[in-house]
């Protein structure tokens, strides 16, 4: 078991909590409006290899090193966006143009000199990618732009929940691998946010996007599965949430093919990313970020 996700006002017995802590299974808590509240986990994970955490801090303080890592990470994200469009929109007359635009943005990553520039190109790529995906969304659902905190429409509500689930799973594996989740190399740190989880989930965001589009286009959810209010934005019904979490679990468990023609589930590929990152920190091997084939 990788983690336990607790939604709303669910009750957990002390015996279940002790069992989770004894087996290093983190408990992640979500509020009623799908916001992430925090994690209960075993703090020993952070203390097992203090020397390595200090090395992680030292290496991530090297701006040239982190820029190279971030460039490879963003390139993997854009590559996977391009491949997702190829698979989802193969019959669209506009596919060559959309793929060409993403390829052009990827070419511009080489000469960047700052993470802010990378953020700009990644933002442009995501905007064009989601705009292209929106063209194959079945009505009455529609997607116009990404919004959150709170999400204001069903598609954004599903994306926000999916990204949060991906983030919590990634944070748990980071701790299991002996890295500190709050020491990242691409996103800006803030508060208790697991910055490294936000970094390493980037190449896998398409799993959330594909799951969202599949759930809607197969008409497994309807507009009745969403409630919109001024105070809380758009919220997913318990039925819709169960269906969506099951769809995500299927996506995470499905074996993916990499650009290098290897195979693995999300869990295996994320572990591969983490082991490659450890090797890069130890200057033993180049980093590797997942690129789908």
DSSP string of 82-128, one letter each residue? HHHHHHHSTT-TTHHHHHHHHHHHHHTTTT--SHHHHHHHHHHHHHH
Residue 94, pLDDT > 80, answer: yes
What would the pLDDT profile of 98-140 be if each residue is shown by its tens digit?
Answer: 999 999 999 999 999 999 999 999 999 999 999 999 999 999 9
Separation between Cα atoms, residue 150 and residue 123, nearest integer Å: 20
pTM of the complete model: 0.87
Residue 247, pLDDT > 70, answer: yes
What is the per-residue pLDDT for 35?
A: 62
Structure tokens at 116: 């802010």
Provide the pLDDT confidence category of residue 285 given band limits of 50, 70 and 90.
Answer: confident
What is the per-residue pLDDT for 220?
A: 95
CB atoms within 10 A of CB 12: 13
Provide the pLDDT confidence category of residue 166 given band limits of 50, 70 and 90.
Answer: very high
What would the pLDDT profile of 59-74 be if each residue is shown by its tens digit?
Answer: 999 999 999 999 999 9
* Percent of the chain's residues with pLDDT above 70: 96
Structure tokens at 172: 């748990």
Q: Is 5 helix (H, G, I), strand (E, B) or coil?
A: strand
Residue 261, pLDDT > 70, answer: yes
Please return the burial class of 284, using the count of CB atoms within 10 Å of its CB with bins 0-12, 13-18 and 19+: exposed
List of E strands, the chain: 4-7, 27-30, 36-40, 226-229, 233-236, 256-257, 263-264
Provide the pLDDT confidence category of residue 194 given band limits of 50, 70 and 90.
Answer: very high
CB atoms within 10 A of CB 197: 23
Q: Which residue has the tokens 């008409």?
A: 219
Domain ranges of the chain: 46-281
Q: Do the beta carbons of residue 206 and residue 159 sit within 8 Å?
A: no
- Cβ neighbors of 151 (< 8 A, separation 6 or more) are 157, 159, 160, 233, 234
The hierarchical CATH code for the domain 46-281 is 1.20.120.920
Residue 173 vs residues 112, 129, 188, 270, 293: alpha-carbon distances, Å? 30, 28, 20, 8, 24
Residue 32, pLDDT > 70, answer: no
């Amino acid at each position: 078991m990788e983690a336990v996700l607790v939604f709303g006002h669910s009750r957990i017995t002390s015996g279940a909590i002790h069992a989770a802590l004894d087996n290093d299974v983190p408990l992640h808590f979500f509020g009623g409006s799908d916001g992430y509240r925090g994690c209960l986990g075993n703090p020993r994970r952070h203390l097992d290899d203090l020397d390595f955490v200090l090395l992680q801090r030292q290496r991530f303080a090297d701006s040239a090193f982190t820029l190279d890592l971030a460039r490879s990470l963003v390139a993997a994200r854009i590559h996977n966006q391009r491949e997702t469009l190829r698979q989802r929109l193969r019959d669209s007359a506009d596919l060559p143009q959309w793929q060409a635009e993403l390829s052009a943005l990827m070419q511009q990553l080489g000469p960047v000199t700052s993470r802010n520039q990378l953020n700009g190109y990644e933002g442009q790529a995501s905007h064009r990618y989601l705009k292209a995906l929106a063209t194959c969304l079945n009505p009455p659902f529609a997607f116009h732009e990404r919004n959150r905190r709170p999400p204001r429409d069903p598609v954004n509500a599903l994306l926000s929940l999916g990204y949060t689930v991906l983030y919590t799973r990634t944070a748990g594996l980071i701790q299991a691998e002996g890295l500190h989740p709050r020491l990242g190399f691409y996103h800006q740190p803030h508060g208790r946010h697991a910055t490294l989880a936000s970094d390493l989930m980037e190449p896998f965001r398409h799993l959330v996007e594909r799951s969202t589009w599949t759930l809607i286009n197969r008409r497994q959810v309807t507009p009745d599965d969403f409630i919109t209010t001024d105070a809380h934005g758009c919220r997913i019904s318990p039925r819709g949430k169960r269906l969506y979490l099951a769809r995500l679990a299927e996506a995470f468990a499905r074996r993916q093919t990499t650009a290098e023609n290897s195979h693995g589930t999300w869990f295996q590929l994320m572990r591969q990313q983490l082991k490659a990152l450890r090797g890069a920190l130890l200057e033993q091997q180049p980093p590797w970020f997942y690129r789908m084939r």
